[in-house]
Structure 1
Amino acid sequence: MSLCVLCPGQGSQSLNMFDRLRNDPLAEPALQAAWEHLPGAVRLGVSESTCYQTNAVAQPALVLYAGVVGELLRQQGVVPALVSGYSVGELSAQVVAGKLSTGHGIELAALRAQRMDDASPVDHGLMAIKGMRTAVVETLLPKLGEFPVAIYNDEQHCVVGGGKAALASLGNTLQQQHGAHVVHLCVKVPSHTHWLKQASVDFARDLQKVTWLTGDSLVLSGLAGRVCSAPQDSIDCLARQLSEALYWGLALDMAVEQGATVFFETGPGNTLSRMVRERFPDLPCRSLSDFKTVQGALNWLLKQGVS
């Protein structure tokens, strides 16, 4: 069976996100080995849960989490054929695939967060729109204001960017007039939109300075499932995705076309695995967060015949 590992973006992180790894006998050594690479605010213990909603804390934390899970898979001889990540999860995917060291991945996550914060206009963010065809949403948006689509998840689930006050008004309109379900995301930047063009330029320079490794797995970018087979492909995709829309549904389709028959999400949440089950209900798919122990997750993977 061909394994595709999925790495989540912001939204699943929390103050106690590392408890699962810290209290697990298999994961604790790998976590401690990577811990010193974290920025000081996270490494020394952030005590306010709201801090985990900031880019500076959330992005390095998520990359470390995925890097630890990737290391545990390698220790057990589980080498995914494919790895893909959602937003900052694409950086995590490069680490899990072995194309970046965990330390370099965390350092880049901190730089990514800074570039995004520096480029972002004030009082902007993202809003998810569900239960309404994305094609219909796209026809309405130009009439209602400047709301570029940031992420295409599926035919009835997209994410748009904009000023927060304008997004609140848009959400009310879509709910009242079209029956949509909207969710204002806990992010302070309009990721994957034109507002972050300068962040893409600056982050591309950061990525050029890093030592890239060969890796054992193929990385699929959220930019419509583009295959990153060479370092320059990875650099281009990681930089461009800051200011260009992600097509996550197409990335999942590409994974299946490339032969993925089993999906496993690194956690800490299970949002991506739920998306896979909705799109491909016949394929086995779980997240680490579905299991009480890391060993339980590894046992499930081995039962699927992946190696």
Structure 2
Amino acid sequence: MTYAMLFPGQGSQAVGMLSGHSDALIGQTFEEASTALGWDLAALVREGPAESLNQTARTQPALLAAGIAVWRLWQAQGLPAPAALAGHSLGEYTALVAAGSLDFADALKLVELRGQLMQAAVPEGVGGMSAVVGLEDEAIEAFCREYSGPGVLEPANYNAPGQVVVAGNIPALEWLEAQGKARGARMIKRLPMSVPSHSALLREAADKLFERLGSLSVRAPALPVLHNLDGATRQEPEAIRLALRDQLYRPVRWTATIKKLEEQGVTQLFECGPGKVLVGLNKRIVKDALSFALEDAEGFAKAVAAVKA
């Protein structure tokens, strides 16, 4: 059986994350990240407060460091390499670090900037995101096209069949929520996010991020990395830079990415980092795949055993 390693995005962070691992390598990776960033990421992850950890410019480097910490622990087991890597939104950067395409220190500072640009692009109270449950992708796309009021309303995350996150301006989200039940949605829930990620409202932020990407070393990945834009892999550094730029203002196609892995014969899906968000989504996309979260020693041991079996 073959496996893929998947890296989570924002929403998976928590004070004390990865405390279920006793290996010193976890703490060492957080300390290395603190040195690279010039502020104490290790203490923030260990002690909080949650309000600071949840600030997007802090969340993003913290999650990237957490994903790489677990990846390093995994590499230390001497197991066969995964068939592919992928990451949800921010997790795509973690995947590229794991594949050797981006340097760890460079990526930490890059995603810190990404968070700052995202927050600056849309002032607090102007935009947001809502999860829509119970409608097909095409129905949600048509629903968004019908909106004719002020601002933007766009699908942002195709997370699983029947579960899509929509981003936009607050009036547009309010319209969506008011109209949704009549259109057959089982639930529409506003998410606790002030940044309308993966929508046209972040196009300017994406262009600024691309400027920084131009100054960084980007290499061909040593392992295939499936990108959020289309589930395709890329080898050319400039193509990777463009994919990271476009990813910020275009939707995350997670369902298509996991389906692509299934088509390639991947039968085991491991979430490399804190939380179990991707495990839950993956089980809805590919019901027959083995899916484990590596956030603690127990889940990690199960995944190791599955690869060795």
TM-score (norm 1): 0.89
Q: CA deviation at 1:211?
A: 2.0
Contact 1:41/1:57, CA 8 A, preserved across alignment: no
Unaligned runs of at least 5 residues, structure 2 = none
Confirm or deny: 8 A CA contact 1:220 1:227 kept in the other structure. Answer: yes
* Offset at residue 42 of structure 1 (A): 3.4
Residue 80 (structure 1) aligns with: 82
Q: Does 1:32 align with 2:31?
A: yes
Correspondence for 2:109: 107
Report how far residue 209 of structure 1 moved: 1.5
Alpha-carbon displacement from aligned partner over 1:141-180 (angstroms, at most 9, x marks no partner): 2334431111222331111112235423422431466342
2:192 matches 1:186: yes
For 1:1-307, what aligned pairs fall within 5 Å after superposition?
1-21=1-21, 23-25=22-24, 27-38=26-37, 40=39, 42-45=41-44, 47-78=48-79, 79-122=81-124, 123-144=126-147, 145=149, 146-175=152-181, 178-289=184-295, 291=296, 293=297, 296-305=298-307
Write the distance in 1 (CA, Å) between the matches of 2:186 and 2:87.
27
Q: Deviations over 1:98-124 (max 9, x none)?
A: 222222221111111122223235521
Distance 1:90 1:143, change over 3 A: same
Q: What's the secondary structure of 2:165's corresponding residue?
A: strand
Q: What whole-Å deviation, never above 9, does each CA across 1:3-48 have from its counterpart, x for those lacking one?
A: 2111111111122225335x44453344434442345263453743
Cα RMSD between the aligned structures?
Answer: 2.4
Q: Which runs of 5+ in 1 are unaligned?
A: none
Q: Distance in 1 between matches of 2:271 and 2:201?
A: 30
TM-score under structure 2 normalisation? 0.88
How many percent of aligned residue pairs carry the same amino acid?
A: 27
- 2:18 and 2:265 map into 1 onto residues whose CA distance is 32
The whole-number CA distance in structure 2 between the counterparts of 1:24 and 1:176 is 51
Whether the aligned pair in 2 keeps the contact of 1:129 and 1:159 (CA below 8 Å) is yes
Is the CA contact (8 Å cut-off) linking 1:39 and 1:110 kept in structure 2?
A: no
Whether the 8 Å contact between 2:134 and 2:184 is mirrored in structure 1 is no
- Number of equivalenced pairs: 302
Structure 2: how far apart are the matches of 1:134 and 1:286? Answer: 26
Letter in 2 for 1:67: I
> Could you say what secondary structure the match of 1:37 adopts?
helix
Q: Is the 8 A contact 2:31 2:41 kept in 1?
A: no
